[in-house]
Amino acid sequence: MSGKPSVLFVCVHNAGRSQMAAGWLRHLAGDSVEVRSAGSAPADQVNPVAVEAMREVGIDLTAQAPTRLTWDAAQASDVIVTMGCGDACPVFPGKRYEDWQLTDPAGQPLDVVRQVRDEIRTRVEALLADLRRHR
């Protein structure tokens, strides 16, 4: 992987898990990683409870909006991290894939969303460390 690595986080609605993961990676990596997130069936807005949980750790998701997964976004990404979308997530040849099994924060109370947020941070930190090792 030469130059700046690119990571795409994908979940069904692009409203919770993938938005939190993208927020963490932007926060932790700065501009050293290109970060994208998308959904196979995007929601109308980012989950307000996810926005609140991330605000508690100093990450602002209020400007983010769910985005539809496109072939171009996937093609332009070095790593594609899927989160519970199963068969709805298309597979693009030659890409590095990780599938993170995470609780869907949709409809969950803030204490559950905090646990998901913290688990995502741990996984993003490990992914970032791995990307830095393979530069």
Count CB atoms within 10 A of the CB of residue 116: 22
Nearest Cα to 23, choosing from 52, 55, 50, 61? Answer: 61
Give the per-residue pLDDT at 134: 82
**37-57 burial code (b ≥16 CB/10 A, e <16):** bbbbebbeebbebbbebbeee
Which residue among the candidates 89, 102, 124, 128 is catalytic per the annotation? 89
pTM as predicted: 0.94
pLDDT in tens, the chain (135 residues): 457 999 999 998 999 999 999 999 999 999 999 999 999 899 999 999 999 999 999 999 999 999 999 989 999 999 999 997 666 666 777 889 999 999 999 999 999 999 999 999 999 999 999 999 987
At residue 80, what is the residue type?
I
Structure-token pair, residue 27: 């926060």
Residue 35 and residue 110: Cα distance in Å, rounded? Answer: 25
SS3 102: coil
Give the per-residue pLDDT at 84: 77
Which helix (H) or strand (E) is 81 found in, with range? strand 79-82
Specify whether the CB–CB gap between 97 and 91 falls below 8 A: yes
Which residue among the candidates 11, 15, 53, 124 is catalytic per the annotation? 11
Which residue among the candidates 38, 69, 85, 124 is catalytic per the annotation? 85
Q: Could you confirm whether 11 is annotated as catalytic?
A: yes
Structural domains of the chain sorted by starting position, each given as residue range(s) with its CATH number in brackets: 14-125 (3.40.50.2300)
Specify whether the CB–CB gap between 19 and 46 falls below 8 A: yes
The two beta strands, 96-99 and 79-82, are: parallel
